[in-house]
């Protein structure tokens, strides 16, 4: 399963007495099942601020 919209707002932190903290990934509304046979993925999905520049069509500059 490919989430396609992973960002801080979709990471939930929970705490239990026995196990301490654990993370849950939420909001699978844009998720898709990964198929090796198809070899392709949908582009242009997700939150723009968290998409890699090459997927957003923005030229990537290596300088920091």
Residues marked as catalytic: 5
Q: What are phi and psi of 59, to 5 degrees?
A: -65, 130
The per-type count for the chain, helices as H runs and strands as E runs, is 1, 2
User: What is the spatial distance between Cα 28 and Cα 41, in angstroms, rounded to a whole number?
Assistant: 16
């Amino acid at each position: 399963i490919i989430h396609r919209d992973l960002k801080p707002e979709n990471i939930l932190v929970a705490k239990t007495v026995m196990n301490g903290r654990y993370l849950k990934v939420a909001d699978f509304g844009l998720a898709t099942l990964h198929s090796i046979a198809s070899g392709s993925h949908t582009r242009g999905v997700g939150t723009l601020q968290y998409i890699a520049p090459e997927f957003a069509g923005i030229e990537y500059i290596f300088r920091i």
